[in-house]
Each structure stands twice: as structure tokens, then as C-alpha cells.
Chains A and B, each alone.
Chain A
């Protein structure tokens, strides 16, 4: 018998197609799939949040966010009374109870989180010079709660994590810890706009005037420009402050909300003790 091993032609077990071409096609495909599902998750959360009773939110955080009313400071009591007034003006359902926490530190931040808890830091209040701005701040945070933004943020955050875990094939249960996210909930731009609009509307309802309210953002801008190296957290999650001022001014003109009345200065209990920096 005669045997031979002829040379086998190339390209039978492999392909000549350029790997970068395959890479481009597959990447675009994957990105499209991911964007589609992220959109789907956002939409599902947006539509379903209203069916989750507010009580569940309260139960979720009841173990970590507890408050003893007898230990509250005068500032906290003042803010709580203001918040209750605002909650009434915003026609919050009666089960939505707002709890204000006044944090006596220099952090220039304020945020709303699950279960109707609103955190206001002294650092931010000190930047304000009038009551309307403070009211806008509170009304903004309360509007987040009214529209269930903390729940939506948490829900979509968790679903996104599950989604990523599924597509990347890794399942790390510790990544799904929910309570640790309480202070790092971030709201989408449209959520912020919604809260801004509701907040300003609320200020108008309280005084039939919105003069001085947008000072809230102005204070944040000023502080942004002369802040030291690291920008405060409030700013990094609330970009485009100037745009938001313009948006609110336009809204006030469109709705015919006047801004002429004399503004009431900030309550003296928030007055800065030290006089290192002068405010206008």
C-alpha cells in the first residue's frame, strides 16, 4: 500500500475574516441589547413603583433610620414643622410621613431617602440667606419622596445589578446589599427636574411668590467656584446647576409666578457661629 501526507490547504479550520470586524459587529450587538434591557428596566420600575405601598419603604429602613423626637434640636424641630407644612401643600398622601434629620456638620449636602427620611446638613443651610431658598430645598427633597424617587432609584439599581450579574455570568450576593445604598441613591436628571418643578410650585403655593428661591442653586454654584479641591457630593450628583436656575426662571415666567415680594431672611437659629466668610 502506498501512503502519503499531502500538504493541507490553509483556511479550512480557520477563517480569513479580520478579527476586528467580528469584534465591531459583536460589540455593537451587545451594546444594543444592553441599552434595550436597561431601558426596559427603567420603564418597568417607573411604571410599577406606585403599586408598592409606602409602608414597605418605611419597614425597609426602620431598623437603620430611627429617630427619637425628644432628642431633636431646635433646628430640627423648626425644619420638621416646615416640612410638615410643605408636605401638606404638596398634598402628600397621609401615610407618607416626612422625617427630617438635621445633621450638625459642615457637609454641604441634603438628600431624601427611603421611607420619607430627609437629611439636611448644616453646611448647606448655612449657605442660604432666605427662607424661600430653604423651603425650596425642603420642597425639592419632599417632592423626591412624593414621586417615589428613592424607591425607583433603589429598584432600578438592584435590577441593573442583577442584570449585569446575569450577563457577566458572575453572581456575587454581597453586591446586592440594599441598605448600604441608602445614602448613595442617585436620581436621574428627569427626576431632579420633576422635583425642582414641584418644589418651586410648592414655594409659590405657600407665599404666592417665588422670590429668592433659586438662591438655593446660586449658593451651590458660588460654593462650587470657590470650593477647595474636592467638589461636595451634592454637586457631583446635581450637575448643571446654572441650567436648572434658568429652567426654574422660565417655568416661573410661563406659569406667571411672581418674584417681587420682600424675602424673609433665614431664621436666626441657622446663623453661622463663626464669621470667617462673609455672606451677602
Chain B
């Protein structure tokens, strides 16, 4: 009986705080995506000809985001029947977009507005504590080109 009460309390906490955090996060994501829309971010492996003579560097953005108790419980229930684990979908969607935004922020600070060869990597942080830690890291990295510079030494560097 006590187990059930504890479970319900944890679920309620998870639900309300998780829901609040998600709402707030999405609001901020949408705002910042508009703000950085002018920075071009493409996934092609080779840089366009126009920027080839510019200096370039690696930029990255990473985020670690944790699952709340409610989402985890919902995903566990989903395990029985199969199907879309929607509770994790929104979590990973947020993490991916946040990582890209941080990438763009770094590029913006360095004065770049062209990012090429975007790559995303996802890893779960649980290391033997599968049931205790449910966090995920998303790393986004790309090559930034700086329009105000001319790379003289290696004109073809990507």
C-alpha cells in the first residue's frame, strides 16, 4: 500500500515538473530557432564553392537532458505492448534541437553564418545504473566558415 502511495507521488511530481519543464523548454527553443534562422546550417559533406576560400573551424554544441519519473513509467508501460514511445520522442526532439541551437550560438559568437557537414551523436548516460539514471547526451558538431577571413595557407580545407 505504501509502495503504491510512493509511486503515485513520484508519478505526480514527475508529471507536473516534467510537463512544466518541457513547455518552458519548447517555448525557448522556438524563440531561439527564429533568432538564429539566418545562420545557414547544412548537412552536406563538401562545402559550397563560395565559402571555400574562407577560414573554417569546428564548432559543437551538446546537451544532457534527463527523463522524468512519469515519462520513464510511461515508457515502461509502453514496453509491454510496443508502439511509439511518445514520452521519449519529445524528450529527444528537445535535446536535438537544443544541441543544434547551442552549436549555432557558438558559431554566432565566433562570427560565422555558414555551418557545413552537421553531425549529431546520441549517447545515453546510464553506465550500469540503468534504472537510476535516465539521461541522454546529444552532441551536434559542424564546420563553421567565417566570411570576414581568407584562409591563405590551405585554401581547400574543409
Residues of A within 8 A of B (CB): 1, 3-5, 7, 10, 13-15, 17, 19-20, 22-23, 26-27, 29-30, 33, 167
Contact = CB atoms under 8 A, between A and B. Distances in A.
Interface string B12-54: 0001000100000000001001100101111000001110000
Contact of A7 (B34, B39, B41, B87): B34
B3 interface: no
A5 to B, nearest CB: 6
B135 interface: no
Interface stretch (B72-80, B119-127, B147-155): B72-80
B37 A7 contact: yes
Interface string B62-96: 00000000110110011011001011011011000
B74 A15 contact: no
Interface of B: 15, 19, 30, 33-34, 37, 39-42, 48-50, 70-71, 73-74, 77-78, 80-81, 84, 86-87, 89-90, 92-93, 114
Given A13-B89, A26-B74, A3 B81 contact: no
Given A13-B93, A14-B86, A3 B42 contact: yes
B74 A23 contact: yes
Given A5-B40, A7-B34, A26 B78 contact: yes
26 contacts: A1-B48, A3-B42, A4-B40, A5-B37, A5-B39, A5-B41, A7-B34, A7-B37, A13-B90, A14-B89, A14-B93, A17-B86, A19-B15, A19-B71, A19-B74, A19-B87, A20-B15, A22-B74, A22-B87, A23-B70, A23-B74, A26-B78, A29-B77, A30-B77, A30-B80, A33-B80
B22 to A, nearest CB: 10
Given A5-B40, A22-B74, A23-B74, A15 B81 contact: no
A23 B40 contact: no
**Chain B contact surface mostly:** helix
A153 to B, nearest CB: 21
B127 to A, nearest CB: 18
Contacts of B15: 19-20
Contacts of A19: 15, 19, 70-71, 74, 86-87
A10 B22 CA distance: 14
A106 B62 CA distance: 67
B81 A26 contact: yes
A19 B87 CA distance: 7
A23 B77 contact: yes
Given A19-B19, A26-B77, 15 more contacts: A1-B49, A3-B42, A3-B48, A5-B40, A7-B34, A13-B89, A13-B92, A14-B86, A14-B89, A20-B15, A22-B86, A23-B73, A26-B80, A26-B81, A29-B81
B136 to A, nearest CB: 15
The 8 closest A-B pairs by CB, nearest first: A26-B77, A14-B90, A13-B93, A3-B40, A15-B86, A14-B93, A14-B89, A1-B48
